[in-house]
Amino acid sequence: MSTERSPLALRFPDLPAIPGVTPRVARARYKNWDRCDLTFVALDESTSVAGVLTNSKCPSPEVEWCRKALVLGRARALVVNAGNSNAFTGNRGRAAVEAIAARAAAHLGCEPSDVFVASTGVIGVPLPIDKAEAGLDAAFTAAPASWEGAAATIMTTDTFAKAAVTSAVVDGRTVNLVGIIKGSGMIAPDMATMLGFVFTDAAVAPEFLQAALNDANRKSFSCITVDGDTSTSDTILAFATGKAGNAPLESDDDAGADAFRAALADLCHQLALLVVRDGEGAQKLIEITVEGAESDRSAHRIAMSIANSPLVKTAIAGEDANWGRIVMAVGKAGEPAERDKLAIRFGTTQVAQSGLAVEGYDEAPVAAHLKGREIEIGVDLGLGDGRATVWTCDLTHGYISINADYRS
C-alpha cells in the first residue's frame, strides 16, 4: 500500500449502516505489514446476491468459487483477503478457498456455498490456510468495523480508502445503497475492476439484481482503465438484505424498479471513477468521449484504444497537447474511421477538424486545460450515432516505481 495519497483522492463519505450487514476486520498477516488484511462480512438470512467476474482465462480459485455460488442467488457471508491474490496456485489455492468457506459457514450455520470469497495481491503464492483460519477466528469475535475500516482493509497499492453511497425510493420506502472498492493497478476490466462490494437494504430478487448489476457495469466498471491489464481476480458483488421492507423487486414492471436501477448505476459509476482517481502514480483523471461512431460498441473500442495508449497517457502526464497520438490510437483500434471526417478537442477547444489541424487555433487554452487535474478529450468520427465515454489516468514515473517494486 502506497504511503503517498493520490492528488485525485476524494474524502471518504458518510455511509449509513445497512441493516442485515455486519462487517468485521482482522489481521491474518498475509504480508509483513502492520494493518488488518482480512474482512469478514456477515449477512442476514434471505440476502440476495449478484456479481460480475473477470473474463480472464487464468482466474483465481476465488473467482471460480463465486461463479458457481452465484447461480444459487443467496449469500450469508463475504470474506476478502488482501496481500495475496491466491491466483495461479492450483489445488492448494482451491483448498484454501474451500477451507475459508467451510470455516465461515460453520460459524454462521449455513452452507459453504453461501459464503463468497475474494482475494487480491501477489499472483502465484498459495494463500496460507493456517493464517486465513486464524484471521477468520479473530474476525468472528472482533467488534463490528466501520465502513472506512472495511474499505481500508481490502486495499493493496491503493492510496486511499474508497466508498460511495446513494439511495432510491422503492415501493414507497427509501432504500440505501453503499459500496466499497479497491483497485489501483492491473485495471482494464472486461466486467468489473479489482474488488468491489455493494450492499443495500432493498428487497431484490437475485435475477433482477443480476440484470441491474449487468447494466450498471456496462457503463461504469467496463469503461475504466489504468494500464490495459485485466486482473485474474476482478470481482464485483452486490448483496441485497431486504430489510427495508419494500415489496421485492422482481421485474422492471415493479414499483421503484427504475429508481433502483438508476441508483445502482450511479453507485457503480462513483466507485469506478474512484479507482481511476487512484491509478498507480496518477496525477490526472482523463475522460474520453467518442461520438459519431458507427455503433456504441465501436465507439467504446475506439475510446479504450485511446485510453490504453501509453503515448496518449504520457503526453497528458507531460501536459503536451499532442493530438497526433489520438489520431494514432483511433487508427489502430480496428474500428470504422475516416481520416478526413475526424475531429478532436481538448476540453472545449477544437484542435482538429475534417482530418486537419484547425487553422490558427490558439493552443493557450489547451495548455491551460492540460495543467488541471481533470482532463477531457473528445473525438467525433462523423460516421453515425454511436457514442461512448471511458475514463483513465495519465502514465507517470510513479507507475513504474510502484510496479517495479511490487513484490518487495
182 is in an annotated binding site: yes
Confidence at residue 4, expressed as pLDDT on a 0 to 100 scale: 87
Residue 408: the pLDDT is 45
Active-site residue identified among 89, 153, 193, 396: 193
Percent of the chain with pLDDT over 70: 96
Question: Is 89 marked active-site?
Answer: no
**Is residue 334 classed exposed, middle or buried when 0-12, 13-18 and 19+ CB atoms within 10 A define those classes?**
exposed
Whether the predicted pLDDT of 192 surpasses 90:
no
Establish whether 174 is an annotated binding residue.
no
Which segment of 31-35, 115-119, 232-236 scores lowest on mean pLDDT? 232-236
What backbone torsions phi and psi does residue 160 show, to the nearest 5 degrees? Answer: -150, 150
Is 280 annotated to bind a ligand? Reply is yes
Q: Which domains does the chain have, with CATH numbers?
A: 21-277 (3.60.70.12), 285-404 (3.10.20.340)
Residue 178's pLDDT band, with cuts at 50, 70 and 90, is: very high
The annotation status of 193 as a binding-site residue, yes or no, is yes
Residue 81 known to bind ligand: no
* pLDDT tens-digit readout, 85-103: 999 999 999 999 999 999 9
Q: What's the pLDDT score for residue 122?
A: 86
Tell me the C-alpha distance between 329 and 246, whole Å: 48
Q: Is 408 annotated as a binding residue?
A: yes
